[in-house]
Amino acid sequence: MRFAARAAIALGLAALVAGCATTPPEDDPVQIKLNDLDARLTRVERVVTNKSLVELAQHLDEVQTAVRQLRGRVDELENGTEAMRKQQRDLYSDLDKRLNALQGTASGAVPGQPGTPGQAPGGQTPTGASSVDQAVYNQAFDALKAGSYSVAITGFRDFLTNYPSSPLAENAEYWMGEAYYVTHDFNNASTAFQTVLDKWPQSRKVPDALLKLGYTQYELKKYTDARKTLTAVTQKFPSSDAAKLATDRLAHMPANTH
**Helix ranges restricted to H, the chain:** 2-22, 29-48, 51-103, 131-145, 149-162, 169-182, 186-199, 206-219, 223-236, 241-252
> pLDDT value at position 24?
54
> pLDDT value at position 252?
86
Q: Which CATH number fits domain 128-252: 3.40.5.10, 3.40.50.970, 3.40.50.1370, 1.25.40.10?
A: 1.25.40.10
> pLDDT value at position 74?
60
pLDDT tens, residue by residue, 177-188: 999 999 999 999
Q: Which amino acid is at 228?
A: K
Residue 118 has phi, psi (to 5 degrees) of 75, 10
**Is the separation of the CB atoms in 137 and 118 below 8 Å?**
yes
pLDDT at 237 over 90: yes
Going by pLDDT thresholds of 50, 70 and 90, the confidence category of residue 10 is low
Residue 219 to residues 140, 212, 250, Cα–Cα distance (Å): 26, 10, 13
> pLDDT value at position 131?
82
Residues of the chain with pLDDT > 70: what percent? 52
How many other C-beta atoms lie within 10 A of the C-beta of residue 24? 5
pLDDT tens, residue by residue, 71-103: 666 666 655 555 555 555 555 566 656 665 554
The 3-state DSSP class for residue 164 equals coil
141 by Cβ neighbours in 10 Å (0-12 / 13-18 / 19+) ranks as buried
Residue 245 to residues 112, 142, 237, Cα–Cα distance (Å): 18, 26, 11
Mean pLDDT of 24-28: 61
Furthest-apart CA atoms within the chain: distance in Å:
165
User: In terms of Cα–Cα distance, which of 144, 161, 165 is closest to 153?
Assistant: 144
User: In terms of Cα–Cα distance, which of 139, 152, 231 is closest to 189?
Assistant: 152
- Domain extent listing, the chain: 128-252
> pLDDT value at position 116?
36
245 by Cβ neighbours in 10 Å (0-12 / 13-18 / 19+) ranks as buried
Going by pLDDT thresholds of 50, 70 and 90, the confidence category of residue 35 is confident
